[in-house]
Structure 1
Amino acid sequence: MGSEIPDQLRMFLFPFLAHGHMIPTVDMAKLFGSRGLKTTIITTPANAPLISKSIRKNNDLATEIDFKIINFPSVKAGLPEGCENLDVVATSMEMTMKFFKATTVLLKPLEVLLEESKPDCLVADMFFPWATDAAAKFGIPRLVFHGTSFFSLCVSACLVQYQPHKKVSSDSEPFVVPNLPGDIKLKRKQLPDFIQQEDETEFTMLSKEMQQAEIRSFGTLVNSFYELEPAYADHYRKVLARRAWHIGPVSLCNRNVEDKALRGKQASIDEHECLKWLNSKKPSSVIYVCFGSLANLCSAQLREISLGLEASGQQFIWVVRKNKNGQEEKEDWLPEGFEKKVEGRGLIIRGWAPQVLILDHEAVGGFVTHCGWNSTLEGVTAGVPMVTWPVFAEQFYNEKLVTQVLKIGTAVGVQQWSRVGGDFVKREAIEKAVKEVMVGDKAVEMRSRAKALGQMAKRAVEERGSSYSDLNAFIEELSLQRCLKGRN
């Protein structure tokens, strides 16, 4: 379907200004465009080139997706000039809160855009709770995009409602998440700091605003598929009575090598060089190690990872983030002569990697991940078992889904939620976990389950699949809303 269709639905997408939020939003825009919806992404000047490059390459979608640019008040907010992305300041809580406060200034320009264009729907990130009222002002349905799983949404809601973490005697005492399928156990120290804290903070207030805005919104779009977490999809919609549509995995809209390579920032390695290295390896023989765009591990921890990988005897691709300030620094985390020692067996990528391209390669047989939902779902979609190493956000919840519910991963043993680094994991634990997902009977069982889920993920987005059908239902609901609005 093309833009000449007179009754074409028009969607506004407003992602939070962080790569982990923008990447799935761009995928959503591609998905909507492929189904004949006219989609506009709202972003800021510095972020526009990052999220538009993959769309410009796709002529089929170029006419279906455009951009609206609004200015971000970096300097006024006390942030570095040109700082328009959370990834730049996430290691400092003070700067992170300044960044969140600065985003509230985007309310007025958003209202101007909504009044001018009057889209049929606004899909706004969970970190923009004020978007619900802004959309309501013009009679526009606001959808929330959390960028996480039904499982995590259910855990979060149950913790807020029942507060079981306040009934245990210590941070290390396990408790069962009440009124949730699966007998899910957590510890207080694994919960986000804004849930653990008794005192009201800026972030706890933001969290409450987000919860209230979600309840008052038109519904939620979830980057997941029904077969992955049926009990929790049902719980969210039936027990918690929240309107939601599962439309994922949205990363599957990227079908060829170029689409996969262009997701996110500019890769620090040429995709052809990366594929050439992988092509030289046997199926399921390489473990991929990556901690996302925000986790910040110290030099001592990186050194332990290098020694753990070496001791495991496994072939690996390891993505290590460069210094955030762009300054050259001595690589004191890398043992002397390490790269020469593992030459041919290990590939270190410093910076950004084409993750989906790597995970989808048949040579990759395991994934060491921080359990961010984008990475977790990409691992599921690729059909690879995981070593779970959560750091912050809802990552400890995602770990439970992977290891306890899906049984396609093994925990490295991290126990403490932390904005910077988390628990220190020794090389022996890393070696053990890597071997567990790569070799032996347990690895074979996990890989078998993971591959089955990967096949389900691909079927879900095909015609008549669960996510394809739920997206149809969502489009029909929007069309009905527009009809009802037209009659009034």
Structure 2
Amino acid sequence: MSANNDGAIFPAADVAVVMVPLVAEGHLTQLLHLSTIISSYNLPIHFITTTTSLHQLQSRHRTTTVNIHFHHFPVPPFISPPPQPSTPFPTHLQPYINSTLHLRHPTATLIRSLSEKHRRVVVIHDVLMSYVVQDVVSIANAETYLFQPLSAFNSASSLWEKTGGSFPEDFELMNMIPSKDGIASPEFLEFVELQKPCMGFYVGELYDSCRVVEGKFIEYLEKVGQKKIWAVGPFNPVRIASDSTDLNNRHKCLQWLDEQPKNSVVYVSFGTTTTFNDEQIRELALGLERSGERFIWVVRAADVGDSCGFEGRKVELPDGFEERVKGRGLVERGWAPQLQILEHFATGAFLSHCGWNSSMESISMGVPMATWPMHSDQPRNAFLITNILRIGVAVRSWERRDELVTADVVAEAVKTLMDSEKGEETRRRVMKLSGEVRESMAEGGISRMEMDSFISYARRL
């Protein structure tokens, strides 16, 4: 017998959990966070990925949980082209994503080995890794659970469109959702199609979301679908251990934030897949400068598949920009500790691409967002944030995605969040929602109870 982090007693594990994430950074991070949560229930976690992606993950995230076992497998060499600033969707990552198809056989071999040592093997896999886990259906004491890395709203709106607009509520905003035009490349859509024949064997679905954020959409999915759903998020920690006593290792962004007033800094980051062209970089820089607000701007080229970042192209800023904003603006060209930055008392807004990871992190930490979607699920995440939850303001709508975002537009969005009554109202709403999210993760909270329910189901006799 042993205890989880809150002292609850569970029997020694006769169930093993296997995590199979997609190799994109956001997907890796989500299932790493989920691994940490599930391991606290005294269940061993076996985390499967490629050798390259494990190197990337471990270089960016620290985990001290001894119950998480990493299994990395090599894949055949591939050519990873540099990011293309002219293409919002990260087509340069496609060879990297395609390489995951080679994980099918080593994954099946590992799961069969685990099935001989445990009463049950629970396989939690990214929806885009369905092809890789297709052989699990032939293992009698193993079962798969589909991890949905996107918002419940994204899934519900897609289902609503397929069923002819039969949303069960009088919810007129559903008629305003952004289109899916331009959200993905043809090559990526081919990869998605490859997954679909392998998606029918899972027991249930897990979402990195919670009912206090997306309750009506989760309920809709439950009513229309035929599989069990557990909304067990947010996966990211909602309370972060302080490293303030270890000043030598404290990230320079956090040290800089320590010197700033409360809610005075805009955090600017567009994730690991976005690469702007030089003209857009210039307008963004000038917009931040003209806003007059304090900011941290993560300026780095997008990840590629065979390293932890593309070093061949350094993002060039306007001449004299860093000198002119010195003292009120910090440019970070490396990896930034996003969760700690969002949690910091000085951070007052987040200018973001609205990936679901970033969105849930911002909600968890109570930080309003300036939304600037680039591709994939981001346009609908932005719509959820600005139009439904009303915890952000739009920098650019999806319908105008091909237009240059000017410095004046950037400055106006930043000033709206940081220095207006609308911004204050937005901050109050997200702070209230953040409090509800944190309560949902505490003992007796709705997300904690959903996680307990999932663990009980996985352990059922």
The answer as to whether partners of 2:265 and 2:296 remain within 8 angstroms in 1 is: yes
SS of 1:289's equivalent in the other structure is strand
Q: Distance in 2 between matches of 1:205 and 1:161?
A: 23
Going from structure 1 to structure 2, the CA distance change for 1:117 and 1:86 (only over 3 Å counts) comes to farther
Distance 2:251 2:43 in 1: 33
User: Residue 398 in 1 paired to residue 398 in 2?
Assistant: no
Is 1:250 aligned to 2:201, yes or no? no
8 Å CA contact 1:414, 1:425 repeated in 2: no
1:65 is aligned to 68
Aligned counterparts of 1:40 and 1:249: Cα–Cα separation in 2: 21
Matched letter for residue 436 of structure 1: T
Give the corresponding residue for 2:433: 453
Taking the aligned partners of 1:345 and 1:130, their CA distance within structure 2 comes to 48
**Is the 1:86–1:99 Cα contact (8 Å) retained in structure 2?**
no
- Structure 1: gaps spanning 5 or more residues: 163-176, 195-200, 262-268, 484-488
Residue-pair matches, total: 437
Quick one: percent identity of the two aligned structures?
A: 27
Higher relative contact order (CA 8 A, sep 6+): 2
Deviation per CA, 1:68-91: give whole Å up to 9, x if none.
222212x2xx425xx9x999xx98
Letter aligned with residue 382 of structure 2: E
What does residue 179 of structure 1 align with? 167
After TM superposition, give the deviation of residue 219 of structure 1 in Å. 1.4
Bigger shift: residues 314-323 or 447-456? 314-323
Q: Give, in whole Å, the separation in 1 of the partners of 2:36 and 2:239.
A: 9
Q: Does 1:107 align with 2:90?
A: no
* SS of the residue 2:52 aligns to: coil
- Partners of 1:477 and 1:108 lie apart in 2 by 27
AA aligned to 1:126 is V
Q: Which residue of 1 aligns with 2:273?
A: 294
User: Which residue matches 1:429?
Assistant: 409
Tell me, in whole angstroms, the C-alpha distance in 1 between the residues paired with 2:151 and 2:393: 19
CA-to-partner distance for each residue in 1:208-263, whole Å, 9 max, x for gaps?
Answer: 4545544431111111111011100101112234421111111116631459x9xx
Q: Does 1:147 align with 2:127?
A: no
Matched, 1:11 2:2: no
CA 1:95–1:365 in structure 2 vs 1: closer, same or farther (change >3 Å)? closer
1:57 Cα deviation after fit? 5.2
2:217 corresponds to 1:216:
no
Give the superposition deviation at 1:158.
2.8
Q: Residues of 2 paired with 1:335 and 1:202: CA distance? A: 35
In 2: Cα distance, 1:343 partner to 1:388 partner: 25
**Distance in 2 between residues matched to 1:295 and 1:369, nearest whole Å:** 11
Q: 1:94 Cα shift? A: 6.3
Work out whether residues 18 and 86 of structure 1, in 8 Å CA contact, stay in contact via their aligned partners in 2.
no
Question: Secondary structure at 1:251's aligned position in 2?
Answer: coil
Structure-2 separation of matches of 1:55 and 1:317? 20
Change (3 A) 1:465 1:191: farther
- Preserved CA contact (<8 Å) 1:193 1:417: no
In the TM superposition, what are the counterparts of 1:375-394 in structure 2 within 5 Å? 375-394=358-377
The letter for the 1-side match of 2:79 is L
Deviation at 1:156, TM superposition (A): 2.4
Kept after mapping to 2: 8 A contact 1:132/1:216: no
Q: Distance in 1 between matches of 2:168 and 2:332?
A: 40
Kindly state the Cα deviation for residue 275 of structure 1 after the two structures are TM-superposed.
2.1
Q: What is the identity, as a one-letter code, of the residue corresponding to 2:406?
A: K
Query: In 2, Cα distance between the equivalents of 1:315 and 1:270?
Result: 24
Match of 1:48 in 2: 54
Q: Which amino acid aligns with 1:325?
A: F
Unaligned runs of 5+ in 2: 5-9, 303-308
The residue identity in structure 1 corresponding to 2:439 is: R
CA distance in 2, matches of 1:210, 1:32: 26
Separation (CA, whole Å) in 1 of partners of 2:384 and 2:46: 33
CA contact (8 A) 2:268 2:297 kept: yes
- In 2, the alpha carbon distance for the partners of 1:217 and 1:21 equals 19
Partner of 1:174: none
TM-score of the superposed pair, with normalisation by structure 2 = 0.86
Residues 298, 22 of structure 1: CA spacing in aligned structure 2 closer, same or farther, 3 A cutoff? same
What does the per-residue CA deviation read over 1:417-450, in whole Å, with 9 as the maximum and x for residues that have no partner? 97xxx54211111111111111111111100000
**2:186 corresponds to 1:207:** no
Q: Is the 8 Å Cα contact of residues 221 and 247 (structure 1) preserved in structure 2? A: yes
Q: Does the CA-based 8 Å contact 2:101-2:132 persist in structure 1?
A: no
Instruction: Report whether the alignment pairs 1:225 with 2:226.
Output: no
- TM-score (norm: length of structure 1): 0.82
436, 444, 469: which one aligns with 2:424: 444
Q: Name the CA distance, whole Å, in 2 between partners of 1:286 and 1:379.
A: 14
SS of residue matched to 2:128: coil
Render the CA deviation track for 1:368-420: whole Å, top value 9, x for unaligned.
010000000111011011100000010011011101110011111232597xx
Corresponding residue for residue 167 of structure 1:
none
Contact 2:417 2:423 in 1 (8 A): yes
2:51 aligns to what SS in structure 1? coil
- SS of the residue corresponding to residue 371 of structure 1 reads coil
Change (3 A) 1:214 1:86: farther
- Structure 2 counterpart of 1:377, one-letter code: M
Question: Residues 245-286 of structure 1: CA distance to partner in whole angstroms, max 9, x if unpaired?
Answer: 111111116631459x9xxxxxxx963432221121111111
Q: Distance in 1 between matches of 2:162 and 2:200?
A: 13
Q: 1:116 aligns with which of 113, 118, 129?
A: 113
Contact 2:98 2:191 in 1 (8 A): no
- Matched with 2:394 is 411
Give the Cα separation in 2 of the matches to 1:351 and 1:467. Answer: 34
Q: Is the 8 A contact 2:263 2:346 kept in 1?
A: yes
Aligned counterparts of 2:60 and 2:28: Cα–Cα separation in 1: 12
User: Aligned partners of 1:150 and 1:86: how far apart in 2?
Assistant: 29
Matches of 2:412 and 2:31, distance apart in 1: 36
User: How large is the RMSD of aligned CA atoms in angstroms?
Assistant: 3.0
Structure 2 SS opposite 1:404: helix
Match of 2:340 in 1: 357
Contact preservation (8 Å) 1:31, 1:253: no
